[in-house]
């Protein structure tokens, strides 16, 4: 496994050139977040990733976590790394200055988080969930709860978790059995939750569990769910830590990957009942939890980008060194990076990663504008854009990371199948991303059933309008005309598929589920094409001003995407518009 090298030049290109960072910097909320400051932050975040997190990644995979009594023991080096993470105030980048945050754009946080996830995904999961918990409290909690809990979450001295799933429930949250009983100004919770990432660990001083549960007398179903803050240690009036709450870790799961991230079974209220505090209003639990979940879904998509980048770096390093076979052009002994099929695999990894990064960062950019946009119309526009992109970021990127990390193993040949090289870890770590925070089937159903049908394709139409504007510009450029025409055709086809879904859904309850996955994958490839086309446009302009190896490579990657990867969307389109009938006709007896 090669040492991780933060791709800061690539990240700078996406933030400052592919996206309009000046538009963010021009907003009052981000007036101090200039390009120079952002560059300095990302440079330091990259160093932290490479020098602090990178070395513990392999150790964490090999040692894993273990449970001793009511404590989880983390791998060697993790506690020290977390202490440095807190000292450097990394979690506070995009948080509210009122509670100790630095007030930078979420886009800056996301770029830094990519590097942390590339270096050590298991570690990065802990602050990721804390950031989501901060979002949930900031959006829905009372001022008293915010004042008491947010400052220590923002510094990272305390961490947060998300508690949804129960052994019998899975994704069906309407059947949760954990119950909350009112008692004065708080509640007593009793029940068990599973799959709680970083549910117990020694790195933070306190752990705040965000727990979804119905109250004792709540109506059945999702409308009866409420959200509660249940701290590991109760917090006194002066902010100091009090007694241990009635909750404990029961066990940790033995998993395919992310071995250094404890996935816990948590028990609440085995004795007097775990004390919890209501977040938001009674019955609004699912709506409040979605604030946390949407944050997590965007960052899980980012994990797909990050692990793809890491797998690509390892594959390129190995291909440059490994000597095998002969160069087909001169017959001399060759490093495998000279072989056309290895080049195909490497460029597939590279191009897909760049397309995923463009999509994911646009999601973060849209999030900043939906919150801090200049006026109500702009905020509304980007709120719709963010909602449209979130399931695609989560699902498309995590589908592709399985392909990219698998290709990383293939480039290594037999050595890729040997754990000693370390590249299999990326494959194993990546596999969970398409499952947790809502499986990709759930994301696809959300995209089609909620985002497309709810507004009859209006947000998609607005998005595709911008795609077509890019296509029109490129078609007028002789060097980019082919990319422009292919982008136009892809956008037109996606609009056609959208109209098919909108026009066909009425009276056919199975249609959404039958076409959703293929529709999402189609949209992912077409959206990825838009970001790659914009990258080609920026690179072509830069090359016209003078030769530059970075932009030459960018242009080559974009050309590869359009010739060899974008065409994949057509198969998904055919499955949507021509395969819906067989999908709807399937029954349980067909298997």
pLDDT tens-digit series, residues 267-287: 999 999 999 999 999 999 999
Residue for token digits 């899975």?
170
Rg (CA), the chain: 24
CA dihedral over 322, 323, 326, 331, signed as positive or negative: positive
Q: Which of 318, 315, 308, 325 is nearest to 346 (CA)?
A: 315
Label residue 158 exposed, middle or buried (CB < 10 Å: 0-12, 13-18, 19+): buried
Q: Is the dihedral of CA 426, 427, 432, 434 positive or negative?
A: positive
User: How high is the pLDDT of residue 332?
Assistant: 87
HSE value, Cβ hemisphere, 13 Å, CA-based, for 269? 18
For residue 175, pLDDT over 80 is answered with: no
For residues 134-163, average pLDDT: 97
Tokens in use for 264? 């816990």
Distance between CA 112 and CA 114 in Å, rounded? 5
**C-alpha span between 354 and 352 (Å, rounded):** 5
For residues 565 and 558, give the distance between their C-alpha atoms in angstroms, rounded to a whole number: 10
Contacts of 585 (CB under 8 A, 6+ apart): none
- Reported as a pLDDT band with limits 50, 70 and 90, residue 171 is low
Provide the annotated active-site residues: 437
Comparing C-alpha atoms, which of 439, 514, 511 is closest to residue 172? 439
Q: For the residues 282-304, what does the mean pLDDT come to?
A: 94
> Which band of pLDDT confidence, cut at 50, 70 and 90, is reported for residue 2?
confident
Q: Residue holding tokens 């080559």?
A: 556
In Å, how far are 100, 299, 428 from 528, measured between CA atoms? 36, 17, 25
pTM listed for this prediction: 0.96
pLDDT at 531: 98
CA distance 398 to 549: 30
Nearest by Cα to 559 from 496, 481, 488:
481
Write out the two tokens for 291.
């604030």
Bridge partners of 163, per DSSP, are: 211
pLDDT the model gives residue 281: 95
Structural domain spans, the chain:
288-585
Distance of alpha carbon 162 from alpha carbon 361, whole angstroms: 24
pLDDT band at residue 174 under the 50/70/90 scheme: low
154 touches 92 (CB < 8 A):
yes
Lowest mean pLDDT among 244-258, 395-409, 480-494, 534-548: 534-548
Q: Region 524-532: what's the mean pLDDT?
A: 98
What's the count of helices (H) and strands (E) in the chain, helices before strands?
20, 14
pLDDT at 414 over 90: yes
CB 66 within 8 A of CB 132: no
Instruction: Please give the structure tokens belonging to residue 326.
Output: 């002969």
With a cut of 70, say whether residue 340 has pLDDT above it. yes
> What pLDDT was estimated at residue 326?
85
- 349-376 pLDDT tens trace: 999 999 999 999 999 999 999 999 999 9
pLDDT at position 222: 84
Looking at residue 61, what is its pLDDT? 98
Average pLDDT, the chain: 96
User: Two tokens at 55?
Assistant: 């070395």
Check if the beta carbon of residue 570 is closer than 8 Å to that of residue 491: no
Structural class in CATH, domain 288-585: mainly alpha
Q: Which of 174, 238, 161 is nearest to 204 (CA)?
A: 161
Q: What is the pLDDT of residue 306?
A: 98
CA-nearest of 353, 305, 365, 352 to 109 is 365
Residue 426 pLDDT exceeds 70: yes
Q: Are the beta carbons of 268 and 246 closer than 8 angstroms?
A: yes
Strand 158-163 to 206-214 pairing: parallel
């Amino acid at each position: 496994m090669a040492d991780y090298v933060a791709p800061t030049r690539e990240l700078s290109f996406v933030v400052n050139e592919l996206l309009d960072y000046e538009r963010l910097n021009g907003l009052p909320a981000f007036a101090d977040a200039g390009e120079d400051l952002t560059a300095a932050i990302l440079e330091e975040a990259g160093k932290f990733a490479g020098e602090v997190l990178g070395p513990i990644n392999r150790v964490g995979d090999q040692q894993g976590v273990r449970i001793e009594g009511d404590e989880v023991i983390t791998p060697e080096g993790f506690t020290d790394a977390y202490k440095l993470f807190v000292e450097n105030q990394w979690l506070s980048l995009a948080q509210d200055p009122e509670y100790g945050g630095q007030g930078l754009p979420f886009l800056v946080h996301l770029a830094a988080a990519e590097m942390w996830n590339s270096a050590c995904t298991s570690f990065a999961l802990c602050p990721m969930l804390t950031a989501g918990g901060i979002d949930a409290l900031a959006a829905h909690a009372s001022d008293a709860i915010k004042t008491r809990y947010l400052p220590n979450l923002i510094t990272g001295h305390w961490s947060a978790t998300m508690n949804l799933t129960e052994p019998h429930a899975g994704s069906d949250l309407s059947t949760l059995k954990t119950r909350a009983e009112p008692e004065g100004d708080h509640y007593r919770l009793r029940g068990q939750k599973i799959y709680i990432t970083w549910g117990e660990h020694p790195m933070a001083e306190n752990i705040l569990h965000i727990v979804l549960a119905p109250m004792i007398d709540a109506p059945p179903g999702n409308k009866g769910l409420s959200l509660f803050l249940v701290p590991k240690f109760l917090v006194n009036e002066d902010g100091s830590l009090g007694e241990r709450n009635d909750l404990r870790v029961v066990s940790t799961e033995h998993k395919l990957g992310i071995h250094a991230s404890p996935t816990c079974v948590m028990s609440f209220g085995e004795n007097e009942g775990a004390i919890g505090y209501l977040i938001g209003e009674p019955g609004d639990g699912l709506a409040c939890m979605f604030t946390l979940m949407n944050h997590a879904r965007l960052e899980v998509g980012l994990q797909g980008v990050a692990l793809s980048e890491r797998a690509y770096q390892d594959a390129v390093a190995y291909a440059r060194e490994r000597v095998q076979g002969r160069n087909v052009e001169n017959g001399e002994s060759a490093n495998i990076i000279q072989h056309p099929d290895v080049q195909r695999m490497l460029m597939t990894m590279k191009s897909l990663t760049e397309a995923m990064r463009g999509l994911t960062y646009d999601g973060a950019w849209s999030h900043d504008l939906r919150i801090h946009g200049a006026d109500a119309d702009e905020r509304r526009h980007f709120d719709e854009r963010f909602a449209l992109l979130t399931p695609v970021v989560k699902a498309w990127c995590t589908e592709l990371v399985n392909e990219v990390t698998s290709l990383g193993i293939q480039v290594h040949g037999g050595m890729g199948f040997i754990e000693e090289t370390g590249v299999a870890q990326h494959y194993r770590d990546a596999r969970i991303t398409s499952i947790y925070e809502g499986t990709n089937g759930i994301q696809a159903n959300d995209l089609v059933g909620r985002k497309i049908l709810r507004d009859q394709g209006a947000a998609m139409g607005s998005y595709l309008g911008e795609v077509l504007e890019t296509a029109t510009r490129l078609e007028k450029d002789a060097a980019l005309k082919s990319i422009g025409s292919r982008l136009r055709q892809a956008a037109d086809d996606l609009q056609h598929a959208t109209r098919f879904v909108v026009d066909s859904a009425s009276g056919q309850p199975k249609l959404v589920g039958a076409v959703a996955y293929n529709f999402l994958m189609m949209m992912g490839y077409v959206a990825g094409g838009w970001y790659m086309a914009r990258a080609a446009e920026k690179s072509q302009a830069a090359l016209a001003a003078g030769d530059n190896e970075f932009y030459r490579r960018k242009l080559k990657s974009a050309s590869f995407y359009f010739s060899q990867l974008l065409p994949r969307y057509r198969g998904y389109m055919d499955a949507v518009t021509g395969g819906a009938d067989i999908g709807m006709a399937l029954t349980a007896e067909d298997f």
